[in-house]
Structure 1
């Protein structure tokens, strides 16, 4: 893919007027308050990781509406002290898979909670284990269009709430230092990490790479790539629904969450990324309210910096959690 978005010098200054609803803060305070009324941990049981140096547990915690959300909890084998923790969120269409698939953070010495994404897992990887009991609201077939006409019924209201509850869950697990918790993710996972950064006031660090659902109004105008294309297809059929769709998406936009963040953050972006266009990432990064940096990969698409970026993330994360 050739460069298609704004030049880098313009991207570094790009801070558009992304509107947010007047009741944005109230909407999320009410949503999270309802979720917090239920105890967070439901079940924790040992699970073989098949990795000699990593111990693992199968965790179930209460997410949106008290729905059971599955997760893998892993940590360096034989370590009993309270460790800093990384809560990781997954990309669109991917489930938590098998316990040995994502050993990086545990191998780096952290406690690691990998949250399953409700109702996903059928597009990539090795599947998921968490249904979405609230997934019957009117909308399209994919998660990004489920309940799209009403923010109260929208899929991402549930998933973002799950992500906030995942932070509460990791803090309740044995062997975690609750004062040192970071969130991390790529694509959809990066968008969730950014949302949590705006909703949880006492995180230690945020890793958000190619975050999805940022400056959404621009994204659906400039890219035909999935999953934004699902929204475009929905509107191509439901032509009268545009105002309702744009209103719903405004409650989930990463720019609004970025404006409320308090933890230091590292962003990553590929300048040829059509899945999460660079201008949408910079729109959030440039309005991020706390200390932050952006790692830029001029010749990369949605894969970004891959292992090079992971090394940069780990070195930066060590400086924040050590």
Structure 2
């Protein structure tokens, strides 16, 4: 796809029109407090992967509402002291996959925690699947996850996912071979959007690295592109006429722009200028809102949603080595 969004010089100054709810901080403080009333109960069971360079653990911890959430913890095989830790969140429709697909960060000497996204991996849209159901039902929704419970912020699917993600950081930090003082979060697309949310909700992270992040600048993203997953919202509103204001109110509590305004950690973003799934203006909206002074964005001029791919992985390896 050719360039379709704002020119790069305008992207660098672009600001979202998303309006932050007055009770945004109270909403999230209450949400996390309620989930922390459940024991984290993080359990790490060794897994035989037949790999000699890493040790892998099957993780279960209590996420939103105390619901069991799965994950992997992958460690360098010879680790005996606490390691800097990378917590990763997965793209839309995928799950934690199989252990041998997560070797990069442990190979670089980090503890690597991968969170399974509730409901998505078990649905099996791509990859090797997942093992975390979402036991919460919702009002009628368009197929997919973007409109589940969208009638109210308290019911919205991503309230559960963002809470799971904060608890995933807590679970990762609970293992004796992770260094809680050196924790980074990262992910691509949906995983990038989740990492931005966690960056705004967990104040003591060292680094946040969202690639071509999803879930940002909803007023623009839901109207500038007709690609899924954002288009799920438009398709929902085609049949639920007259609810647009109600839906905009719900989405405002989950907009990466507002979490970015609370982000203090060092940040490395990436954007692709031909990305019609997560349009570059919506990525720059979150990047420009990020309040930490140590921030940088890699721009891939002729790429779609694949973004920087292995080039961005190399950039993150270089960047994290100086922060963790």
Instruction: State yes or no: 1:195 paired with 2:197.
Output: yes
Report which stretch shifted further, 153-162 or 120-129: 120-129
Instruction: State yes or no: 1:301 paired with 2:284.
Output: no
CA contact (8 A) 1:135 1:155 kept: no
Instruction: State yes or no: 1:136 paired with 2:138.
Output: yes
How many Å separate the matches in 2 of 1:124 and 1:101?
Answer: 13
Task: Write the deviation string for residues 155-179 of structure 1: whole angstroms up to 9, x where unpaired.
Answer: 0000000000001101101201110
Residue number among 208, 211, 214 corresponding to 1:212 in the alignment: 214
Q: Provide the secondary structure at the position in 2 that maps to 1:229.
A: helix
How many Å separate the matches in 2 of 1:50 and 1:228?
Answer: 40
How many Å separate the matches in 2 of 1:71 and 1:283?
Answer: 30
Instruction: State yes or no: 1:2 paired with 2:2.
Output: yes
2:160 corresponds in structure 1 to 158
1:276 corresponds in structure 2 to 278
1:170 corresponds in structure 2 to 172
- Uncovered stretches (5+) of structure 1, i.e. residues with no partner: none
Q: Provide the secondary structure at the position in 2 that maps to 1:21.
A: coil
CA contact (8 A) 1:20 1:256 kept: yes
Instruction: Quote the offset at 1:52 in angstroms.
Output: 1.3
How many Å separate the matches in 2 of 1:97 and 1:10?
Answer: 38
2:245 corresponds in structure 1 to 243
Instruction: Quote the offset at 1:39 in angstroms.
Output: 2.0
Q: Provide the secondary structure at the position in 2 that maps to 1:193.
A: helix
CA contact (8 A) 2:18 2:218 kept: no
Residue number among 279, 286, 289 corresponding to 2:288 in the alignment: 286
After TM superposition, the score normalised by the length of structure 1 is 0.98
CA contact (8 A) 2:71 2:115 kept: yes
1:26 corresponds in structure 2 to 26
1:221 corresponds in structure 2 to 223
Instruction: State yes or no: 1:95 paired with 2:121.
Output: no
Residue number among 315, 319, 322 corresponding to 2:322 in the alignment: 319
CA contact (8 A) 1:72 1:96 kept: yes
After TM superposition, the score normalised by the length of structure 2 is 0.97
How many Å separate the matches in 1 of 2:30 and 2:258?
Answer: 17
* Alignment: residue pair count: 321
CA contact (8 A) 2:150 2:250 kept: yes
Instruction: Quote the offset at 1:43 in angstroms.
Output: 2.2
How many Å separate the matches in 2 of 1:17 and 1:200?
Answer: 25
Instruction: Quote the offset at 1:79 in angstroms.
Output: 1.1
Instruction: Quote the offset at 1:36 in angstroms.
Output: 1.4
2:83 corresponds in structure 1 to 83
CA contact (8 A) 1:193 1:208 kept: yes
How many Å separate the matches in 1 of 2:218 and 2:102?
Answer: 29
After the TM superposition, which parts of structure 1 deviate over 6 Å for at least 4 consecutive aligned residues?
A: none
Instruction: State yes or no: 1:184 paired with 2:176.
Output: no
For the structure 1 residues 21 and 312, does the alpha-carbon distance in structure 2 shift closer, same or farther, using more than 3 Å as the test?
same
1:114 corresponds in structure 2 to 114
2:51 corresponds in structure 1 to 51
